[in-house]
Amino acid sequence: MAMTPCGRGHYYDPAKHSSCPHCGVRSLDINFTQPKQAEGYVPERTMPLQPGSAAAPGQAGNPQRGTEGERTVGIYRKKMGFDPVVGWLVCIEGNDRGRDYRIHSEKNFIGRSERMDIHISGDDTISRENHAAVSFNPKKGTFRFHAGDGKGLVYVNGEQVDTSVELSAYDIIEMGQTRLVFMPFCGERFQWES
């Protein structure tokens, strides 16, 4: 092991260090990683855009998008021309006690905002948007309750819901300071005919 002086009075092993480790890095020896060149490898280049194919700034490049504000149409609405009631939530505890909320086919988002399908305005412990959702599957005739993106937890019959659970008649749903009872209209005994 041959030690080398650095010029400032320090000694270092050149087999381990390219410069004096005590003085800091003066001439840093960094070997940048290079891509492995396989035989016959040629780096790919991105195809240039054809004239007129670029989307306007701030817009996606999908030329078949709908008009702004157009809502997605549910299966029942598409087949029947209207979106019939398939069940209800009835508030049994909270500021809106006694009020009913209509459930329509497929997903019904719940929150305080008027933009929600089911909007519970009197409880500020419920998130404005997507606190939870109730869905009706028209193919199976079943209802499910889904936890949403809200901060608060949701419960069905006292049990915390983390993803989704199937609903049955008279199940109790709790969110914030509101308790709701679930009442199905569609199911085994009745289905809307298309």
Mean pLDDT across the stretch 131-148?
A: 94
Enter the pTM of the model.
Answer: 0.60
Q: How far apart are CA 181 and CA 163, in angstroms?
A: 19
Mean pLDDT across the stretch 114-126?
A: 93
φ/ψ of 4, rounded to 5, equals -120, 135
Nearest residue to 145 (alpha-carbon basis) of 118, 105, 173, 170: 173
pLDDT at 97: 93
Rg for the chain (alpha carbons), in Å? 32
Give residue for tokens 């809502």. Answer: 71
With bands split at pLDDT 50, 70 and 90, how would you rate the model's confidence at 9?
A: confident
Domains of the chain, start order: 1-28 (no CATH), 84-184 (2.60.200.20)
Beta strands in 36-122 (DSSP E): 85-93, 100-104, 106-111, 118-119
111 against 193, higher pLDDT: 111
pLDDT at 1: 67
pLDDT for 33-72, tens place per residue? 666 666 666 666 666 666 655 555 555 544 444 455 566 6
